Every structure is written in C-alpha cells, then in structure tokens.
Structure 1
Amino acid sequence: MTALGNRRWWLTGLVVVWIAGLVGLTVWSVGHDRATVPEQRDIDLAVTDLERAAGVVYATASGADRAVVLGELQLTRDCRITPVRSGVAAARAVTVYVGDSKAAEAVEAIAAELPVEWAPEQSRTRAGTRVSLHADAGNFVGIDLSGPAVATTLTLRLTTGCRPLDGAAPVGGDATASPAPALLNTVVSALDANVGEPVVRTVACPSGGVAGSWTVPDLSMPDDLPGRLRQAGGEIVHADDAVRAYRKAGDSIVVLPQGEQLSVTVSTSCRGA
C-alpha cells in the first residue's frame, strides 16, 4: 500500500473515532448534563422536583407565630410548550396564616430560612402596601408569593411550568398515608363531632420523616365556636369571621367557617417529624 493509501486509511480511521466519540459524548450528556430548558425534564421528573421543594417550603413556612396548611398537588393539562405542542403543568401551595400586621415579618423570615442556593428574594413595595417573595428551587421549579402587606393569609405557590408528558400523567401528591395526629381528634371532639375519614396531604420533610395536613370537612357549626376551640387549647395566630388559626405544641389548627358548616385542618410540623 502506498504512502497516500496509508494516509487515507489513517484519516478515515480518525474520522470514525471522532464520530464515535462525539456520539458517545452526546449520549452521556443527555443522561448527565443539567437541563437547560424546561422541555428537557418531563412532567414525571418535574413532579419529583416539585415535591422535594414542597417539603422544604412547608418546613420553612411553619413557625411559632404562623399556622400552615399544605395544599394538594394540582395538574393542569391545557398548557402549551409551543403553539403546536401541549403539555402538563404541576403546582402545589402552602397557605400561611399570620397575625395582624405580621405579613411582611413572616415573608422576611421565610425568605431567610429558604436554601441560599435558591436565591430567595423578598420585597415590599415602596408604598409598603404589598409584599412578595420569589425563589428558584432548581430544575425550573419556581416559588412565588404576593399579597397585601395587611394580609393575614399568605400563599406560597410552587409551579413547574408547562412540561412534556411521556405516557400517563403522574399520580403523585402524598409522601405516605400517615395516621392522623391525635390533635385532630381533640379539636373535632371539642366541636362535638367525629373525625371520620379526613382528607390527607403529606410531604417528605427535608430532614427525614413525613408531615402534612389532615382536613375534616362539612362539620356542623356548633354554638360558641370560640369557646369550644378554647377547650382544645392552643395559642391564637389569627381569628375572625373567615378563619380561626391556632398553634399548639408545634402543630397548626385552622378552622374555616362556611355558613352553617365548617372544616377543621390540623397540620403537623417538619420540625417535629
């Protein structure tokens, strides 16, 4: 074989090795590199990211002067990734009840306790009439809060944005079907009612264990609601005609009157999980 032929074979072999290496690098990159756009993580992965972040947010939102309620996982199917491609978005909320004139203080405290790598930002408008918070939990999961500075109910909302759906939509939601806390029976019994089958919403706590909210809906409104709730004990966080929120031994009690009925939610804390 001539020198020219040897050179051609050598060049051909070099090109083949280069192509094989490029393909291998591409395959490895797809499986290992961090996603650069939301579309690179489908809704199953996004829900996993969302639930992990929800545990952190729930743990952070709970405090000695705050009552919390964990919301359910919500899936929205009518979002658009592109004008011609539909997808699914996931969201979950943590509702925080605070005392009068405590909204700004609570938002500041929550922002301070969120992971530094989430780059939490809390602010108050120049006129001081509204408070807000934003954080990036990674993998395109955002946390947002915005409300009046005089609000006594704040909502931290976690969202994934629109993601691709590969197969069936995830069921997701609760970390485990944990037994209801004893405090739930104490509160419901004080209202002369039975617990029955509560609605359960839980998350995995960042330090381990499980915490969440147990809700008993559609209870009859008793006479002297404040007096009956005093029998259950707890310190008042906020109380008016729309909501009665308490803290007891690290847990939250939230009672929502609805006409002639009411719902009772007891939420356990990650700090004690």
Structure 2
Amino acid sequence: MRRWWLTSLVGVWIVALGGLVVWSVDHDRATVPEQRDIDLALADLERAAGVVYAAADGDDRAVVLGELQLTRDCRITPVRSGLAAARAVTVYVADTKTAEAVEQIAAGLPADWATDWGRSSAGTRVSLHADAGNFVGIDLSSPAVATTFTLRLTTGCRPLDGEVPRGAGEASPSPAPALLSTVVGALGGNVGEPVVHAVTCPSGGVAGSWTVAGVSTPDDLPGHLRPAGEVVHADETVRAYRNRDDSVVVRPEGAQLSVTVSTPC
C-alpha cells in the first residue's frame, strides 16, 4: 500500500511539474534572446522603432527613418546560426544642438526603458543607450559637434526557422506626402515610385520616409529648395529642412540628388 501511495505521489508530481513547465513556456518572460525567435523579435523591433521615431521628432530637427536591415551571418552558438535585425532613425540638427536634441529624445522615451544618456568626460561626445524590452536595444554615439546623429535599434542574433517574409517588420505605408511632389517638382524632377520606409506609431497611425533618387542638380540649389521649408542645417553633404510637421532631407549622390520627405507620428 505504501509503495502504491509513493508511486501515485511521484506520478502526480511529474504531471504537475510538466504542466508548470508548459505554463512557464507560454507565460514567463524570456530570459535569453534565443527564447524569442526572429518573428517575435521583428514585432518587438517594429514597436520600438515607432516609439523612437516619434521621440526623435522635433520642431528644430529633420528626421529620416531607415530601412529594416537583416543580417544572416550572426551566430547564436558556435554551431547554430541565426538572423539579426536592425533599424536606424537619423536626426539632423543645427550646429551645437546635438546634446540638447539627445537629451530631449531621452526624455521622450518610456520610463521603463531605463534610458541612459550623457556626455563624455571631455564633453566631446554624446551617447545614449536604452532597453526597449525583449532584448531590443537602442544605441547612439556621436561627436557633440555633429549635425547628424543616428539612433540604432538592434535585436541581436535570433533563431530563424525557414525564410523571413519580404517586408517583415515594415508597416504598410500610406500615400506619399504632397510635399514630396512639391520639392521634387521644384528641382525639375518627377516623383515616380519613391522608396518608402514606414513604421507604426505609438498612437496606432503610420508614418515614415519617402525617397526619390536620381534628381538632377539645378543651378542655385538653395533657391530651388525654398519650398522645402525652414533650413535646419545645410552644407556640401546634406541640406535638411523643416516644413511644419514634415522633414525634408536633400543629399548629393554624384552629380544628382536624393530627396527624402518624412512625416511625423
């Protein structure tokens, strides 16, 4: 009788332990990146990118959303390969405004992201790090005198089963903003089919960046770009503008130009 009772008790314990393991897999937070595969990581990255893009926006800056980048040469273990995803938000500011802009962006990120930003001891560099949860990190390191800096979001190496679908992690874009046609038309070009990178905003809407390349460079480029709005920063490598809520960035590409118009969250 006693042996039967002990056997029954062990059986119940095994069933209970198995149930606890199943429940834990479904409900407990992941403790290592490998417990959230690339499909889950892309959803996490998309959510975080919308928050960062919204926080990066400001009346005195221009903002460009980068494309989703997938890297296949990462390793989860020495014998197991995976996939890493990244996305960037690039910010253009006026001279001496980098530290101020980074401070404002840090303040605009969620409190539970434990955002840490600061200047180097010599004051020559500005850095930022935040943890968006589920092993998605946000990092920035820039010279304090820079007029362009980039916030980079990364997932780290994640498991991949099968192929990643095209467009994974990208929100479905809305039509191109009218300002894109205005600026490209002022330069004597046509919009055609712009390259679009879109993101879902914290509010649930969609925003992003539309880029047209191969636009001819006219004489008196600043004069032709008056419809772009107020100048944020301009030099031989980039011209960045703010037009109400939208951003305009014009970059030389050889003898031609690329024009990017970004809408806000």
Q: TM-score range by the shorter chain?
A: over 0.9
Q: Of 218, 221, 227, which aligns to 1:225? A: 221
Q: Of 188, 191, 197, which aligns to 1:192? A: 188
Determine if contact 1:173/1:202 at 8 Å carries over to the other structure: no
Partner of 1:21: 16
Give me the whole-angstrom Cα distance separating, in 1, the residues matched to 2:56 and 2:114. Answer: 16
Determine if contact 2:98/2:146 at 8 Å carries over to the other structure: yes
Asked if residue 72 in structure 1 is aligned to residue 72 in structure 2, the reply is no
Give me the whole-angstrom Cα distance separating, in 2, the residues matched to 1:121 and 1:209. Answer: 28
Give me the whole-angstrom Cα distance separating, in 1, the residues matched to 2:116 and 2:236. Answer: 33
Give me the whole-angstrom Cα distance separating, in 2, the residues matched to 1:245 and 1:66. Answer: 8
Asked if residue 258 in structure 1 is aligned to residue 258 in structure 2, the reply is no
**TM-score, normalization: structure 2?**
0.98
Q: Of 49, 53, 61, which aligns to 2:44? A: 49
Determine if contact 2:173/2:206 at 8 Å carries over to the other structure: no
Give me the whole-angstrom Cα distance separating, in 1, the residues matched to 2:221 and 2:169. Answer: 32
Evaluate the alpha carbon distance shift between residue 253 and residue 239 of structure 1 in structure 2; reply closer, same or farther with a 3 A threshold.
same
- Can you list the C-alpha shifts for 1:111-139, whole angstroms capped at 9, x where unaligned? 01100000001010111100000000000
Partner of 1:102: 97
- Taking only the aligned residue pairs, the percentage that are identical comes to 77
Q: Of 200, 203, 207, which aligns to 1:204? A: 200
Alignment length (residue pairs): 264
Give how far 1:249 is off: 1.4
Asked if residue 240 in structure 1 is aligned to residue 232 in structure 2, the reply is no
Give me the whole-angstrom Cα distance separating, in 2, the residues matched to 1:83 and 1:259. Answer: 42
Give how far 1:173 is off: 3.6
**What amino acid is the match of 2:194?**
P
Give how far 1:223 is off: 1.2
Give how far 1:177 is off: 3.0
Worse-matched range after superposition: 9-18 or 22-31 = 9-18
Determine if contact 1:220/1:260 at 8 Å carries over to the other structure: yes
- Can you list the C-alpha shifts for 1:169-203, whole angstroms capped at 9, x where unaligned? 24314211310001111111111111000001100
Gaps of 5+ in 2: none
Partner of 2:163: 168
Give me the whole-angstrom Cα distance separating, in 2, the residues matched to 1:235 and 1:60. Answer: 21
Give how far 1:11 is off: 1.6
Determine if contact 1:44/1:170 at 8 Å carries over to the other structure: no
Determine if contact 2:43/2:169 at 8 Å carries over to the other structure: no
- Can you list the C-alpha shifts for 1:191-231, whole angstroms capped at 9, x where unaligned? 1111000001100000121000000011111111100101x
**What amino acid is the match of 1:46?**
A
Partner of 1:215: 211
Q: Bigger radius of gyration, 1 or 2? A: 1
Q: Hey, which bits of structure 1, 4+ residues long, moved more than 2 A?
A: none
Evaluate the alpha carbon distance shift between residue 173 and residue 222 of structure 1 in structure 2; reply closer, same or farther with a 3 A threshold.
farther
Q: How does 1:55-66 map to 2 (within 5 A)?
A: 55-66=50-61
**What amino acid is the match of 2:218?**
P
Give me the whole-angstrom Cα distance separating, in 1, the residues matched to 2:9 and 2:169. Answer: 52
